[in-house]
Amino acid sequence: MPDTAEQLRAELVEVFSRADFPVEEPMELVPALPDGPGTTFEAGEVSVGVMELGSEYAEYQNYPYETVEDLVDDLMAGFREEGLFE
């Protein structure tokens, strides 16, 4: 069974892969979100709202992004840096 970080990563990739890459800025990701700004990513005990990505984890994002993997790599690095995963 995948761990929480792997589950969260898979969910992020699944959702953000619907975006039209390359992505120049965060607002270009909104159409890909199933619940728009109310979208929440959940895995195990971890829950991250899409609005948190723009506030608490913005410093880890470096737009533009050419691929979904590059975007998710930066988000996951931010989650780890901020102690989201125990």
pLDDT, tens digit, for every residue of 30-56? 999 999 999 999 998 999 999 999 899
pLDDT beyond 70 at 14: yes
pLDDT beyond 70 at 86: no
3-state DSSP assignment of residue 44: coil
What are the residue ranges spanned by the domains of the chain? 4-81
What does pLDDT average to over the chain?
94
Nearest-angstrom CA–CA distance, 31 and 8: 20
Q: Which fold has domain 4-81?
A: Recoverin; domain 1 (1.10.238)
- For residues 40 and 34, is the Cβ–Cβ distance under 8 A? no
Q: pLDDT > 90: what percent of the chain?
A: 91
* Pairing status of strand 46-49 against strand 40-43: antiparallel
- Name the DSSP letter for residue 65: B
